[in-house]
Amino acid sequence: MKDKWNSFYSYLILDRKLSDSTANKHALESRFRLLCDYLDNNNLEFNRSAFLSFIEYKKTNGAKNAYLNQFVKLMKHYDRFIGMGQLSDFTYFKEVPPEVDVLTPSDISRLAQVQVSYSRQSEEKNQYYQALIYFLALTGCRISEVTTLKWGQVYADRVAFLDTKNGENRLVPITPFLYNLLMNLPKKEYVFQKIHLTSVNHELRRRAKLCVF
């Protein structure tokens, strides 16, 4: 399995010119391993019929079309890599964009500025989440970019995001207001310490209940 993945990954990067970012490598390898495990557990060899069986298994377990398309894209590459030629005409699933409620600037301000009564360190935690909410809203960055943001990437007028999902670095301008909020946070290795998507979602729901929209 390891040798198979290593040679396939080299093909993806060198021949197909996919991004070699760490995040992309982990995502590709994870999908490849999921399919290989399914084939091994069901004593199947990779071919069109086996891939259809895998897709059906994933759909039965609630996988969305956007998620399935990630496997289709990867396995089209693999099909070409091994010279089998059975998935070249395999079409992608139609993706339906989810309905998203967009917050107004006023909504964002109320979420950020509402004061939550925590059991301890209320002032520090409210400052922390105020900076985090404004940072996400004003920079448009991903949670994964927040979790790896170090102080060396923060400047008075911009923030540098390194090795992003697209495998590139990018600079995003920030306002003096946001910069001052960040400067009030503890100066540890990472700007936002110990942050996880689940805790952010939980905090946003808690704050939304305290706001009147």
- pLDDT tens figures, 39-92: 999 999 999 999 999 999 999 999 999 999 999 999 999 999 999 999 999 999
Burial 103-142 (b: 16+ CB within 10 A, else e): beeeeebbbbebeeeeeeeeeeebebbbbbbbbbbbbebe
Return the structure tokens found at 58.
């994933």
- Tell me the pTM: 0.56
Question: Helix, strand, or coil here: 173?
Answer: strand
Residues of the chain with pLDDT under 70: 1-2, 100, 164-167, 212-213
Do residues 13 and 7 touch, judged by C-beta distance below 8 A?
no
